[in-house]
Structure 1
């Protein structure tokens, strides 16, 4: 069925007509909006909230953010966002993350932002990952009859000119102006498998073995001197169970499969050869640092591996400008990467949105692809020194790893970071930093060989 069962019954009971919009299968609502080709401000979405009294649905425009102070003022309740898992349980007939903004179909009280009630038409998820639905203004208001209306979202600060784009504005502009690549199908399957806490090594191995190239890369990785496994490795399942472990195999496979979304030249300081070398070293170091910080080593590895995807996206979308950026990078090793990106993309050619830097752009892509929040944050903030906030340790681990790598001439910029300050923020002493640095030298030859094999 193209529309979730309870939603279809709700529309039939109310006598509400709607139009279906089939789209390619996507991973989340952000991707669905992009796939539709329709303006973002025509879409509405649901945000689920909860307190001791129960669950409430807030319906607002897709390109707006809830003002929790305004919600509290309207309801007199201190509501908090529902977790994804709780939301999926309430909408059992929907694909995860595709809850339609029609709380009446699920016996959930609804708050609706006043802007939504004035819409002449609205597009929304139908409850699945391959269909949208459209309601005209009259049908929308009928569907939301009985909802409590009011001011729910953050409003602008007047008509004054603003020189700096927020990341939300950057995300909106990127999605409106450019066709961002979807996550490759194999990467999407791997990501979904890793989200299943009951997934087995056999299931992961079978998924990887459908792709001969990916199978060969995983086998080469498991047999490398990085792990010094004394026996024979004859299958991906053996690589998972005997040498690498489920998380490491899933993460490296996810990285390899995801890179296939981009068409980027191999050579140059920003080419695919350098990307893989930098990413593998950074992933290795982040995992080592995490062991000293009592953080999740697998998640730290993934943060390091994927933190530079913004560069690949820039190279994929703008090959000519990427070539210019590559040339500037090689000619100006003392300049910050961010300053060079502003020079290339902030010169009034209609691409100023990209001058925020490849880190922020990579974070936006990772959010679109629904990667774990620490991975999104590590990519988005790794260029921002002095970052304090959500998932701070994972951002700092990537920054510290990059600082240590710059001392060895690895990475996309060579101007130094304050390694001692980063180490202190992570609670690492000089002995720990020395040991981590030595570990790089011990595995350098193997990481270099793996990088060459992955980029070829």
Structure 2
């Protein structure tokens, strides 16, 4: 059924007119809106909230971000977003992530933002990833009858319709309009060294020892409980040959050196502290998964480590907007990062460049820096669930790692991927995934300490 059963029954019972529009199957609301070809401002969405008194649906435009402080002022309640699991139980007749903004169909109380009532025509998910519902103003009023209206969002202005850019257009504009940071000299030398099949541990160690800070970080990494090496480690070369191995040292050193290209604050959910924590956990998971499914462990580690560099580039190029994005993420931890990016950049002159998302921006930077193709794809496509194409196994590993980490509150993108489906896509048994999760739990404190040292 293209329209969720309870929604269809409600609209029929109330004799509310609507038009059903079939579209290509989308994996998320962001993808659904993109696939429709309509302006984002035409769409309304539901954000589900809960407190001890029960569940409430907040309805607002898709290109707006819910302001929980405004919700509290309107209701006198400290409501918080539902978890993905709670949403699945409540909307069992809907596909995960596709909640229609008609709360009465599920006997739920509704808050509606004042910006919605001015719409002459709206579209919203039918409860699946392959159909939309379109309503005129009269039908919408009937569907939302009894809802409490007020100001619920942070901005909510219309962004208008703009011609979509291709990635090639974005890449050209980024390079022509902004001064993109070149790959730091040490990172470039490390990258060249990793491409030399004859390179030795001695050459790698000597290169790292040019940077005292990096030397200390590699030594701290090798001595950590992550590897439980029983002996003494006195040099980088010993760390390479006895504990970490060439690839792991080269890749972590490449990550450390590359980050020096960006000037991004440490604090906040998108700051450097959390960037390193997310990246190290993701790299550890990707490497563990690759070891079990027969893919290149070192390459998988590098994909996980560098997949989110697009955020650093956004922070480097647009520090004021990045600070606002960081603050919004802090007060809306369950919101889609893509929606928050639209809220910050959707009304600015940078919008058309950043409309492709920070993932694609990172892929563009990695291509400019001539990183390996799987790393470019993992960065550029990690937000596109269901991606099929070149190096899709490495993209899926990063997506799986992010989905697992989101369950633990680690990461920056509220994108509850289908863990069993992602695992199946790369041939990983769920029993093996359970063992990998246990491994992560055992080393979590060491990864946290390492992340803190790398961001300082």
**What residue in structure 1 maps to residue 210 of structure 2?**
210
CA drift at 1:349: 2.3
Contact 1:329–1:413 (8 Å) recurs in 2: no
The residue that corresponds to 1:304 in the other structure is: 304
Residues 35-73 of structure 1, C-alpha deviation per residue, up to 9 Å, x if partnerless? xxxxxxxxxxxxxxxxxxxxxxxxxxxxxxxxxxxxxxx
Q: Which residue of 2 aligns with 1:246?
A: 246
For 1:415 and 1:298, locate their aligned partners in 2 and report how far apart those are by CA, in whole Å.
26
Q: Find the counterpart in structure 2 of residue 201 from structure 1.
A: 201
Give the aligned partner of residue 394 of structure 1: 394
Equivalent residues of 1:264, 1:316 under 8 A apart: yes
Aligned-pair CA distance for 1:202? 0.3
Mapped partners of 1:392, 1:265: distance in 2? 32
Q: Contact conserved, 1:335 with 1:415, CA < 8 A, in 2?
A: no
The answer on whether the counterparts of 2:269 and 2:330 sit within 8 Å (CA) in structure 1 is yes
Q: 1:327-386 CA distances to partner (integer Å, 9 max, x unpaired)?
A: 111222222111211222222424421121110000000000000000000000001111
Give runs of aligned pairs for residues 226-305 of structure 1, distance below 5 A.
226-305=226-305
Q: 1:367 and 1:288 mapped to 2: Cα distance? A: 26
1:366 aligns to 2:339 (yes or no): no
Give the Cα–Cα distance (whole angstroms) in 2 for the partners of residues 322 and 444 of structure 1: 28
The answer for unaligned runs of 5 or more in structure 2 is 1-160
CA contact (8 A) 2:165 2:352 kept: no
In 2, are the aligned partners of 1:314 and 1:358 still within 8 Å (CA)?
A: yes
The answer to whether the Cα contact below 8 Å between 1:307 and 1:375 also exists between their aligned partners in 2 is: yes
Aligned residue runs from structure 1 range 46-61, under 5 A: none
Give the Cα separation in 2 of the matches to 1:194 and 1:420: 34
Aligned to 1:313: 313
- Kept after mapping to 1: 8 A contact 2:191/2:254: yes
Q: Secondary structure at the match of 2:355?
A: helix
Map 1:47-446 onto structure 2 (within 5 A): 163-446=163-446
Separation of aligned partners in 2, 1:356 and 1:448: 31
Q: Secondary structure at the match of 1:412?
A: coil
| 8 Å CA contact 1:310, 1:363 repeated in 2 | yes
2: CA distance, partners of 1:344 / 1:321:
6
Q: Please say if residues 263 and 316 of structure 1, whose CA atoms lie closer than 8 Å, have aligned partners that are also in contact.
A: yes
Where 1:420 maps in the other structure, the secondary structure is helix
Aligned mates of 1:350, 1:396 — CA distance in 2? 30
1:396 touches 1:422 (CA, 8 Å); kept in 2? yes
Q: Is the 8 A contact 2:288 2:436 kept in 1?
A: yes
Q: What is the root-mean-square deviation in Å for CA atoms of aligned residues?
A: 1.2
- Structure number with the bigger relative contact order (C-alpha 8 A, sep ≥ 6) is 2
For residue 34 of structure 2, what is the aligned residue in structure 1?
none
How many angstroms apart in 1 are the aligned matches of 2:209 and 2:415? 42
Residue 453 (structure 2) aligns with: 453
